[in-house]
Amino acid sequence: MKVRPATPADAADMARILNAVIAIGGTTAHETPKSVAEVCEAYVTGADVLSSTVCEDAGTVVGWQSVGLWQDAPHIGSFVQPGVQAKGIGGLMFDLTCATLQQRGVDHIIAHIRADNVPGLAYYSRIGFRDIGRDPDFALRNGDRVGQVQKRFDLAPLAQTTG
């Protein structure tokens, strides 16, 4: 597997993965499919995007992760192609995401995860996010209350070198 920064050329694959996750339901707060242009702007090229990473397997994008400013804080979203989750893709992407954010001077990342998204909660906890809040009233558009857990990851500052 190869992890690298995302480019606009990846937006179609990123939209394909996101829309597949949305269609299955249960693991994202997104409820309506996104166009390639929407994904590109929101997660790759937009002014609020701080980091965007993809993971390829045999030349095919199988996952992506993006951090962007939302509500004045860096928020992360991670999506892996259905059928290949829990194979280390998220962890590989997170390493590059952290390195990119550290180079940009970002000191923390926030994640908002549906409280009923057991795999997502486990993933973010496994990579070091800690709980910082809960919203038991978070609801989907149809009114179903699924709750939400807020988590935070603190990035270690880059070591300063003196020459």
Q: What is the C-alpha to C-alpha distance for residues 30 and 112, in angstroms, rounded to an integer?
A: 12
Please check the confidence at residue 30 and state whether its pLDDT lies above 70. Answer: yes
- Whole-structure pTM value: 0.86
In the numeric block, the tokens 């209350």 are attached to 145
Q: Taking the CA atoms of 61, 4, 45 and 117 in sequence, report the sign of the dihedral they define.
A: positive
pLDDT of residue 156: 80
Residue 46 pLDDT class (50, 70, 90 cuts): very high
Separation of alpha carbons 155 and 105, rounded Å:
9
Q: Which two structure tokens, joined as six digits, stand for 39?
A: 């994904």
pLDDT at 161: 46
Residue-wise pLDDT for 52-104, tens only, equals 999 999 889 999 999 999 888 999 999 998 876 767 788 889 999 999 999 99
- Write the CB contacts of 60 (distance below 8 Å, at least 6 apart in sequence): 13
Amino acid 159: pLDDT? 53
SS3 63: strand
pLDDT value of position 95: 92
Rounded to 5°, angle at Cα 102 from 12 and 129: 80
pLDDT tens per residue, range 125-138: 999 999 999 999 99
List of domains in the chain: 2-154 (3.40.630.30)
Taking residues 103-110, what's their average pLDDT? 94
Give the residue, 24 or 93, on which the prediction is more confident.
93
- What the block records as the tokens of 161 is 């070198």
Task: Find the distance separating the first CA and the last CA of the chain, reported in whole Å.
Answer: 36
Categorize the per-residue pLDDT at 26 as very low, low, confident or very high, splitting at 50, 70 and 90.
low
Residue 112's nearest CA partner among 145, 78, 75, 70 is 75
